[in-house]
Structure 1
């Protein structure tokens, strides 16, 4: 039996799938306070960076940089230019390997604290969420 990639269902409650890049599924976090992408390598049974082959690690790093450019584009389109990118592969709640790429500003309300595990997300609203996803699809950096 061949296992097929599936994003952990836990991602469905706080993000939407936007597109696939060569290695990762790209998801938009539904929190309008921050331009925020989640990259999930479409590889079964991978939990840690060390589980990736060297070529997969290179591709993941390239996609993290690409996601940073997209996050900056989202910030610009919302007239809130990103001042700092936060990048992390935590996996404490969802063990499936994934990387968060979050645009931060000195005036974002949580600065300088991390955003992970902090409640109080501000959902985009259905129309704004789909508009942001469309901007990502149309303006994918890289």
Structure 2
């Protein structure tokens, strides 16, 4: 049974599900920062996924990055798997702009997180609703 890491639960807001991954929004309004988490048990490394899941993860990350680039007018998309703090496999997909507060440095630890307000989260979900594929299911609050 898939269980989301407690740190990810604490730091993110649920958005919805792709066929493989849960999509989360990092609760930091400084950047459009999303996280994909494969809904698989006890997976901490990409190579622990079978070949089909590896392909699905890359397809979902690529499609999400393309969607976010357009939806948020990003100058650069950052896609990363780190897992030094949270061992559960997860992929950061961050829409970066030259005018964001951390540019060109990484977003990790640059600024205190600015939590989203409820209306901001609804606006992001509405924006994504217009562009995400039919195989995406939003989690409603």
TM-score for the superposition, normalised by structure 2: 0.87
**1:20-75 per-position Cα deviation (integer Å, ceiling 9, x unaligned):** 10110001112222111100000001000111111111110000111102322441
* Range moving further from structure 2, 122-131 or 58-67: 122-131
Identify the residue that residue 122 of structure 2 maps to in structure 1.
Answer: 130
Deviation at 1:119, TM superposition (A): 3.7
Alignment RMSD: 1.6
Gaps of 5+ in 1: 76-80
Alpha carbons 1:67, 1:141 under 8 Å: kept = no
**In 1, Cα distance between equivalents of 2:109 and 2:44:** 19
* Range moving further from structure 2, 92-101 or 111-120: 111-120
Identify the residue that residue 110 of structure 2 maps to in structure 1.
Answer: 118
Counterpart pick for 1:96 among 85, 88, 94 = 88
Provide the aligned length of Structure 1 versus Structure 2.
134
**In 2, Cα distance between equivalents of 1:15 and 1:132:** 14
Counterpart pick for 1:25 among 19, 22, 26 = 22
TM-score for the superposition, normalised by structure 1: 0.86
Counterpart pick for 2:60 among 57, 60, 63 = 63
User: What aligned pairs does 1:9-24 form with structure 2 within 5 A after superposition?
Assistant: 9-24=6-21
